[in-house]
Structures are given as C-alpha cells and as structure tokens.
Amino acid sequence: MKHTRSLYAQVLHLAIVMAGILFVTACSQQDDLVIPVEPSYADPQVKLDEFRQKLSSATDGWQGLLTPKKGKMFTLFFTLDNAGQVSMLADADTVAAKTFSRSKYRVEITQRVNASVLFAEGSNLERIPSSVDKEYAYQYSLGDTLFLLGSQYGDVLKLIKATAGERQAYESRQLKNSMQQIAKYLSTLRYLSFQPEPGKIIQFSLNPLARSVYNTYLEQRAKFFGSDYSYSPHGIVLKTSPNIGGYVPTEILWDAAKGSLYTNYKGQRMELQSSTLPAIPLHYLLGDEYSPGTVVPSPYAQRMPGWSPKFQTQWLIDDNALMKQLNLALYYMLLDLHVKENTMDLYIYYVTPESEFVRGKFPYTFSKTDDGIYTFTPLAIETGTEEGDNAARVKDHLPNILGAINQNRFHIEFYDAYAELGGLIPQYLSVDDTDIYFTGFFY
C-alpha cells in the first residue's frame, strides 16, 4: 500500500511538470500574451525639454537657495543667456555678493536619465567656503519654483523665478549692502526680541560669523529652535522655519533707513528690540539652555563682580575663621540644582593642611514660584559618607555662608560680566534682604 502511494505521487508530480512545460511553450508562441513593462521614469528627452523651457522662462533671472549636504545655506542670483553664459551672484562673501561671475553653463542629460544644469569653472559657486555641487539634476517644480539635486554631494538647490524688481535689487548691490549692514549691526548687540502678546516672548540670538540664529520662545515655558541663515537683498532667510505658536518665520527683514531688523507676526510688523541681557528670565532657562549649577569662588581665589558688600563681609568672616580654627582653606561653593527633582546639592570645597582637595555635601530641597523665587530647605547631612563627613567637619564654622542660603529666598538672574569676564554669569539676589547678593560661574 505504501509503495502504491509512492508510485502515484511520482506520476502526479511528472504530470504537473509536463503540464507546466506545455503551458510555457504555448505561451511563448503567442505574441498577444507578452505583457510590456513601462519604465519607471518619463522619456529623458521630454524631461530635458521641459527643464530647458522652464529655465529659459525666467527673463529676470533666478533667485536660488543652495543648501549643501554639509555646511551652511547660501543665496544665489543668476541669469542665463542663449549663448551658454551664466552671470551669478552669491552671498559667499561681499565680493561674490556684488560682482557677477561670468562663466559657461550647459543643460543636458546626465547619467542617461537626468535633465541637469552644469555650471563650468569660474562661477561664484567656487567662492563658497565648502565644496558644493556644480551639476544639478532637475527633480520637480511647484509653480515658479524649481527643485534641483546635486549629482556629486547631494546638495539641494531651490530656484525661484525673480521679478524685475528683485533683479534690480541684486544688480544694484543690495545683497552686498544687506550682508555688510546686518553683520555690522549684529556685531554691536547680543540679543533681539519682541513681545507680540502678554506672556509671550520671542528672542533671537544671531551669529553673523557662524551664519546661525538661535530662537528662544517663552509661553508658559521656554522652547528652543536653531537655524542657519543666508542673506537676501531685504534681510536674512532662515534655513528652517520653526512654528512658534502659529508664528512661522521664514525671514527676518532689514530696514536700511532705521538700521534695524524687524519681522512680520500674523500680518503685523514687529520691531526687534536689542538688549545686552536675554529678554527671557534665567529661571525659565536653567537646566535647558543654561547649566543649573553655580560655582561661587572664595574672594581669595577670585574676585567676582556682582557681590554685595554685606555678602562679601559674611563670606570673609567664615573664610578666615575656617583657616584660623581648622587650618582649612575655603576654595569655593557649588550650588548644584537638579531642576526636575527640585533638589540641590550644596558643595563646599576646601583644602586641608596636607594639601588635599576635598568637598563636603549639604543636601537641600527647593521650591520655585511662577515668577522665579527660590526657597532652599536644608536636609540632614549624610554622615558616614566621605562627602557627608567632610560637610559635618566644617558646618559649624560656616554660619554666615550657610545662613545666607538657609534664611533667604532668592531670584536667580543674569548678570552682565562681559566687561570683566567676557560673558553672562548667574547672580543670586535675596528677596528678603536686598543687601545680600552674589555671583558665580555657570557649572
């Protein structure tokens, strides 16, 4: 029985194979059963003709935004003539922004399928600091905007058809003027901001050397955005546009008559106000944009600006007593806030007679009001640990320094120390005793 089933299976298998062979043979003899496969792209020549027609339609030239795969964004403006010449400006530097380069270009099929424009040697693309593509393949269009992709590096080139007025702006050197005037203006200030609504602050920090802008946005809590930018005849163009509560800035505009920057917020012009300190209070930014820790050095180690005479006197009383009574040199105090946990570790660093550098740890909890008033509550020292024992060793000899922290509520604010130290530092200001305030370094 088993042998019979095996033989039956062999015969069945042979029949299936033979049927398959006969079917394939029959199909191969019938032309009407051949199914053609369409290519996944259109005829390259059709695409090339379309690209040529679109390029030649810009009688007043093209404005370009070039975004290299690596590096910053750059603004281009160029015109193409029928003799294969391209005249180009670029905001790579002020020379390239005012002086048209004149070089050859070609529009042709590359890699057998790509409709591409190729810029020959001698164009202002060569003045861009990083190496960028010279050959760009046409991808698609949206209205009067063309999107191209570099063939070597994958750089993105967005071309927007220029108007007669825009062409005139480029030809009258407004791109170069914009670069020079804005860069000079930004070198004189630190922060720009505007407050479109109560409780909402939008701040810009622009770096003309890095061609970058950093946005801080406050509405109940702080949010942060960053972008590179390039110049235009009318201001600067952002590489990425954050959505800030319905405000999506694509550019920041330059008012040459006023010598200042402005933006449009929901259809309304908003002047950007300059300031030496950030417009957004520090307590919103601790733990995000700024480190929450503050190192407070002994006046014997470094004199700090922004100390009140009273706090300095209190510090020196404890500092001198520690040396006189225990022969320990107080080095600095560290207020290390853990923002999410609402705890703080206060560290006292000191040097022993054996020149050993040690630290004692004083644990705290803290609370903060909506307007940024901090209340610090000391916890028990963890004796039996090295840092706890180091803290217990000096605790009774620091009544003024520890008392200032334990008995006062504080605002933590920015202090302008650019003149003395070259930057911003944090400052603690007592709410309960206006004669107590001190500064340190962000840690």
On average, the pLDDT of the chain sits at 90
Quick check: 38 pLDDT over 50? no
- Tell me the pLDDT band of 279, cut-offs 50, 70 and 90: very high
Q: Read off φ and ψ for residue 412, nearest 5 degrees.
A: -115, 115
Which pLDDT value is given to residue 275? Answer: 95
Which pLDDT value is given to residue 20? Answer: 41
Quick check: 26 pLDDT over 60? no
pLDDT tens string 331-380:
999 999 999 999 999 999 999 999 999 999 999 999 999 999 999 999 99
How far is residue 54's CA from residue 147's CA, in Å, rounded to a whole number? Answer: 12
pLDDT tens string 242-251:
888 788 999 9
Which pLDDT value is given to residue 418? Answer: 95
How far is residue 432's CA from residue 407's CA, in Å, rounded to a whole number? Answer: 9
How far is residue 426's CA from residue 335's CA, in Å, rounded to a whole number? Answer: 11
How far is residue 137's CA from residue 44's CA, in Å, rounded to a whole number? Answer: 12
Determine contact, residues 234/178, Cβ cutoff 8 Å: yes
Q: Which amino acid is at 431?
A: V
Q: How far, in Å, are 74, 125, 159, 409 from residue 129 at the CA level?
A: 10, 9, 21, 52
What b/e string do you get for 388-401 counting C-beta neighbours within 10 Å, with b at 16 or more? bebbbbbeebbebb
- Tell me the pLDDT band of 6, cut-offs 50, 70 and 90: very low
Q: How many residues can be counted in the chain?
A: 443
Quick check: 7 pLDDT over 60? no
Q: In 301-392, at which residue ranges do the beta strands (DSSP E only) sit?
A: 329-338, 343-351, 357-368, 373-378
What is the DSSP code (8-state) at residue 73?
-
Determine contact, residues 132/68, Cβ cutoff 8 Å: yes
How far is residue 186's CA from residue 326's CA, in Å, rounded to a whole number? Answer: 53
Q: Token pair 């944009």 is at which residue?
A: 289
Alpha helices in 156-289 (DSSP H): 164-171, 174-186
**Topology of domain 44-163, CATH:** Lipocalin (2.40.128)
What Rg do the C-alpha atoms of the chain give, in angstroms?
Answer: 35
- Give the mean model confidence (pLDDT) for residues 405-428: 98
How far is residue 359's CA from residue 388's CA, in Å, rounded to a whole number? Answer: 9
How far is residue 158's CA from residue 75's CA, in Å, rounded to a whole number? Answer: 10
Which pLDDT value is given to residue 127? Answer: 97
Which pLDDT value is given to residue 244? Answer: 82
Q: In 26-174, at which residue ranges do the beta strands (DSSP E only) sit?
A: 62-67, 74-80, 85-90, 101-110, 114-119, 135-142, 145-150, 156-161
Which pLDDT value is given to residue 29? Answer: 38
Q: Which two tokens stand for residue 111?
A: 């890699």
Which conformational region is residue 429 in: left (phi greater than 0), alpha (psi within -120 to 50 degrees), or beta? Answer: beta
Q: Is the dihedral of CA 91, 97, 102, 106 positive or negative?
A: positive
pLDDT tens string 161-176:
999 999 999 999 999 9
Determine contact, residues 146/198, Cβ cutoff 8 Å: no
What is the DSSP code (8-state) at residue 151?
S
Quick check: 37 pLDDT over 60? no
- Tell me the pLDDT band of 312, cut-offs 50, 70 and 90: very high
Quick check: 208 pLDDT over 60? yes
Which pLDDT value is given to residue 71? Answer: 83
- Give the mean model confidence (pLDDT) for residues 413-436: 98
CATH classification (class only), 175-280: mainly beta
Which pLDDT value is given to residue 246? Answer: 81
- Give the mean model confidence (pLDDT) for residues 421-425: 96
- 13 vs 418, higher pLDDT: 418
Domain extents in the chain: 44-163, 175-280, 293-442
Of 100, 80, 125, 75, the C-alpha closest to 233 is 75
Which pLDDT value is given to residue 245? Answer: 77
* 3-state SS, residue 95: helix
Which pLDDT value is given to residue 42? Answer: 61
Determine contact, residues 401/428, Cβ cutoff 8 Å: no
Q: How far, in Å, are 4, 5, 12 from residue 15 at the CA level?
A: 17, 15, 5
Model's pTM, two decimal places? 0.80
Helix orientation angle between 399-406 and 309-326, rounded to the nearest 10 degrees? 140
- Give the mean model confidence (pLDDT) for residues 70-74: 91
Two domains, one topology: 44-163 and 175-280? yes
- Give the mean model confidence (pLDDT) for residues 234-239: 97
Determine contact, residues 395/381, Cβ cutoff 8 Å: yes
Quick check: 206 pLDDT over 60? yes
Quick check: 281 pLDDT over 80? yes
How far is residue 352's CA from residue 12's CA, in Å, rounded to a whole number? Answer: 96
- Give the mean model confidence (pLDDT) for residues 319-336: 97
Quote the longest CA-to-CA distance of the chain: 111
Which pLDDT value is given to residue 81? Answer: 96
